[in-house]
Structure 1
């Protein structure tokens, strides 16, 4: 008998397709799925067969349009400024609004499990208040502090020796400290939902029955130990609905094919796209440059060997590609790795520097700065094209992703929670010794 699931999503760019992939898989298995989401996502939600429900009081945005972007992190001058906008405009600031809308939906239409992207602490609060099992989805490498491993966001390699571990403890404390400014708003949401306050924002992220990491385990630091409720369930590599399904047009010829893709949301990436196109014009390659919904392809000037398009199904292109040039958004990075294609990463912000560092750690790509010249970009592309070790590493990761995703572990984990705690029966028991260790 099918179960009822409520998903809570926000217009978070690359975080949306993986979450909708999980929702679609549940629908295909006969379950009923409702999705609370921004108005800009409702058409995409309906396209997978889920029932779309718009937020009532929570923020509504469209990251492909700078005038409608809630966070507007492209205006921040520093990484700390970027972080503060996410904290104050999505994670903590409007937590009471997200909690109110989610709790109202759960009361009107009881669900067996609430599934939400991990940054929506307001939605997680509502699930806790309603007493239903809660699953958070991390759509990047695991982003929260752990006893082993460097802090997220700095792109650091694993520490070695006592000094390295001391470095990680100090830097982790520094990266966690800015969350404190969001605690009053989060606790106001918890109080309004009938819950006691929490001591820290970081602790609130762990108040879930499962955190499913939609990322290859091999891409994370191998020595890290994770909390018992965390499961690495492998990436979702479905193309977004707006990319279309038609076989993409490719530049003619038999020269190595380069796929270029920066963010699907607005990050002031116009100039970077043009520098990449200029770089590729100096190389014996052909390239497909997809701008995504945030940039008009007609505004990107490109040489004859670079075809510019708004969108294309990347999975189809990657079957023929020799290298991907990307901002190192998690979605594009793992799709490329799943296809055995090495990367040239040009991080623009957010979690992209972290993802790029993990790609480099496994030997599947190189990183250049977002202000790199066309000549520097061209050298990086040549290095990856002419260095067989990069493709070998990408193919090794591809084999590991294939093994990891042969079974849909995300769906299995969510269904397991639904079976253990039917709607109305209260909260599912948290992980215990019987549930076994975190999958590695």
Structure 2
């Protein structure tokens, strides 16, 4: 009897082990809830691009409104084609050239991911398209620095080259599993949704481009007033809404991390706008609509790298700090006299740097405890600040140097700075043969 029982138990446990092995070998199943949220987030991030077009379009002179908005839509078109061709492979493929960039042949034209379900339980198609929207909006941000003075053909060539040689390598370093900044220090450089990859890279590139191309003709002597601040405010609102997909979607989940990211995004945007409003009241005695819009963006940019690690109190602080420092940065631009037309560096570059560095002082204790456990000892705020500063420094230097090379090549071949007559007549007419508002003599 005992022998029969032991034999039965052996067969039972053998069957259970076989069942467990078969269960473990089964493919990852799609989580429909997470997939639905990621599809929504993808659409929200794409919504930010026409939102940016409206934001920038309202800030330029009437004769350049279409030309400026076309910079955003041009990025949707060019990067929208380039990303599935090679962008995704270069950014998220296994590291090559010593980890400088990624590459995976099956990612070319997304041909090898048809039935791929990621460990986050979403189809890889969704992740690829979500990340593709980041690749679209980043070069569109750059255009704000040299608005009203670039040739459209040269601009399209520039952003195509920039996506391949600047955006994709930085994206790989920071977000790919084998990226060296992803693995720097105990937990890697913190960039939850694009402080370095999106905002610092675009802001620094914008500053380099503005200096390389020179100021708009007549700047700063001639008044260059916005043509439509109503449109700019509407654009800022769309950016705020879209940013929930930008940040909360970067959790690649639908859980507590998603809720945290959404919450701190809302708080930082409001804190940035409120702080900018107060600073303007103290400085000028009036609070401007453009100031509120700028404060919203400053808060959103600063919270972008931090959305996964800071609590609400940290979001309040980051929004306020970014608003003050970006405001001072815009005052400094006036003193130095460089023509960052729509403050791409003043808001995105400076705000991204502030967020990437200052987040260190507001990280949740539980995150620091996890970092310490990973290294088997202690991990301090100052050690993480060193990691953040390294990531920021590398991004700034690399983006500046390579962007300068690309600018030089495009200017000497296709041409980037428009001719004087074309600039004076306006980009709408000279580049596109149209007029944004159908006026006879736009100015």
**Larger strand fraction of residues:** 1
The TM-score with structure 1 as length reference comes to: 0.29
For CA contacts below 8 A with separation 6 or more, give which structure has more relative contact order: 2
Larger radius of gyration: 2
The TM-score with structure 2 as length reference comes to: 0.29
